Amino acid sequence: MNNTSPPLLSIVAPCHNEEEGLREFCRRAVATARSIAGDAFEIVLVDDGSTDGTWEIIAALGREVPQVLGVRLMRNHGHQLAATAGLAATRGERVLLIDADLQDPPELLLMMMPIMDRGADVVYGQRVRREGESWFKLASASLFYRLLSRLASVAIPRDVGDFRLMRRRVVDILLAMPERDRFIRGMVSWIGGRQVALSYERDARFAGTTKYPLRKMVNFAIDAITSFSTVPLRISTWLGMVSAACAILLLIYTVVRWIEGETIIGWSSIMAAITAFSAIQLICIGIIGEYIGRLVQENKRRPMFMIESLAQAGRSIEITGD
Ligand code: UDP
Ligand code: MG
């Protein structure tokens, strides 16, 4: 490969203990990339702290195929950070992010490329059917996407993973976003531009088992929600308002009962004090939450806007990168 001219196409695949399927993945990815870009492509395989023979296979592939670049992380960082490391190593004009387990067919790139030729900035795969996944995974994924779309302030499409083709410009903005808890599919939605969905059927894993047990899935969901929404912080404000309303109703009720001449000594004052003070406390926590929410948002130091292009006296200037 010529080191001075960047390749047309980069394919990035994070791999964690994927020794069984990796060669097959690489074979299919290389065949697809070659049919599109000749020799002007690169395949970045990121070994995310594997404990099996994944790195040996990547190293061997690197010797056999000049377009393969292996990146080995010091330890397991998780799929999102491994993908980010891989993206940072790419130089291609267009970058495909894909899982190494062959659940996302690399051949779909043949359909993604013409959509990008027609002007899309991002072409993402949207799963219409998922083979070989448990009902629990399907149900929890569906619940997660519903919850996220209600809470997040940007529209994050449903049933979309990180399998997507992106323009260099989008990748550069993504890499310029400095936050540490990364939720790539949401961040790409946030960037905007012309994003097009392409439906596909998600296959079963070629080999091995999912690296996303329940614990990691819950962590992933919490990262996703907290990095795109401060709504959970508002919960205590709402609870506070609800208990304030309860306190007022209770007060009215006790006054009415007192007028009617029925009183239990001490009960009304204790109940009124408990509800009123818990309402005050919850509202105070809520107020603190609101300010923490601002801190969280500001701390991300995301770029404030992204310019698509400028036009001056009929001239249009393309701005690339950040
Ligand atoms: N992966 C990774 N680091 C991890 C977990 C997973 O790089 O800590 C890779 C894995 O090798 C695969 C992709 O991320 O290529 C998706 O993982 P997996 O198939 O286990 O997730 P699922 O498809 O079940 O959501
Ligand atoms: Mg998978």
Q: Is the CB of 212 under 6 A from ligand 1?
A: yes
Give tens-digit pLDDT for 237-257: 888 888 889 888 988 888 888
Q: Which residue has the higher pLDDT, 133 or 90?
A: 90
In whole angstroms, give the CA distance from residue 112 to residue 80: 22
Q: Is the CB of 162 under 6 A from ligand 1?
A: no
Q: Is the CB of 103 under 6 A from ligand 1?
A: yes
Residue nearest to atom 8 of ligand 1 (CA): 78
Q: 3-class SS at 8? A: coil
Looking at residue 159, what is its pLDDT? Answer: 83
Mutate to test the pocket of ligand 1, among 131, 160, 212 (most ligand atoms within 8 A of CB): 212
Work out the pLDDT band at 42, boundaries 50, 70, 90: very high
Looking at residue 310, what is its pLDDT? Answer: 63
pTM for the predicted model, two decimal places: 0.79
Q: Is the CB of 83 under 6 A from ligand 1?
A: no
Give me the amino acid identity at 31. Answer: A
Which of 78, 77, 68, 66 lies closest to 22, judged by CA? 68
Pairing label, strands 41-47, 68-72: parallel
Looking at residue 318, what is its pLDDT? Answer: 55
In whole angstroms, give the CA distance from residue 225 to residue 144: 9
Q: Is the CB of 79 under 6 A from ligand 1?
A: yes
Using the predicted structure, report yes or no on whether residue 223 has a pLDDT greater than 70: yes
In whole angstroms, give the CA distance from residue 59 to residue 70: 7
Give me the amino acid identity at 142. Answer: S
Choice among 149-153, 278-282, 310-314 with the minimum mean pLDDT = 310-314
The whole-chain average pLDDT of the chain stands at 86
Using the predicted structure, report yes or no on whether residue 59 has a pLDDT greater than 80: yes
Give tens-digit pLDDT for 182-205: 889 999 999 999 999 999 888 788
In whole angstroms, give the CA distance from residue 95 to residue 44: 10
Structure tokens at 250: 């209770």
Nearest-ligand number for the alpha carbon of 81: 1
Residue 282 alpha carbon to ligand 1 centre in Å: 40
* Alpha-helix residue ranges (DSSP H) falling in the chain: 22-37, 54-64, 79-89, 109-117, 135-151, 168-176, 184-191, 214-228, 231-259, 267-299
Give me the amino acid identity at 245. Answer: A
Give the residue-averaged pLDDT of 128-153. 80
119: left (phi over 0), alpha (psi -120 to 50) or beta: left
In sequence order, what are the beta bridge partners of 125?
A: 198
String of DSSP letters for 57-103 = HHHHHHHH-TTEEEEE-SS---HHHHHHHHHHH---SEEEE--TTSS
Q: Is the CB of 206 under 6 A from ligand 1?
A: no
Using the predicted structure, report yes or no on whether residue 215 has a pLDDT greater than 90: no
Q: Is the CB of 121 under 6 A from ligand 1?
A: no
Give me the amino acid identity at 156. Answer: I
Looking at residue 316, what is its pLDDT? Answer: 54
Looking at residue 3, what is its pLDDT? Answer: 54
Pairing label, strands 94-97, 309-312: unpaired
Q: Give the alpha-carbon dihedral of 115, 118, 122, 126, to 10 degrees.
A: -30
Q: Is the CB of 48 under 6 A from ligand 1?
A: yes
Looking at residue 219, what is its pLDDT? Answer: 83
Residue nearest to atom 16 of ligand 1 (CA): 99
Work out the pLDDT band at 314, boundaries 50, 70, 90: low
What ligand 1 atom has the least distance to the C-alpha of 205? 19
Using the predicted structure, report yes or no on whether residue 312 has a pLDDT greater than 70: no
Residue nearest to atom 2 of ligand 1 (CA): 79
Looking at residue 128, what is its pLDDT? Answer: 84
Give tens-digit pLDDT for 260-302: 887 777 777 788 788 888 888 888 888 888 888 878 877 877 7
3-state helix, strand, coil in the chain (%, to 5): 50, 15, 35
Choice among 29-38, 82-91, 197-206 with the minimum mean pLDDT = 197-206
Residue 134 alpha carbon to ligand 1 centre in Å: 16
Looking at residue 106, what is its pLDDT? Answer: 96
212: left (phi over 0), alpha (psi -120 to 50) or beta: beta
Q: 3-class SS at 160? A: strand
Structure tokens at 314: 């009929």
Residue 38 alpha carbon to ligand 2 centre in Å: 28
Q: Is the CB of 237 under 6 A from ligand 1?
A: no
Looking at residue 97, what is its pLDDT? Answer: 98
Planar angle of CA 157, 130, 45, nearest 5 degrees:
80
In whole angstroms, give the CA distance from residue 136 to residue 64: 40
Mutate to test the pocket of ligand 1, among 96, 101, 136 (most ligand atoms within 8 A of CB): 101
Looking at residue 87, what is its pLDDT? Answer: 95
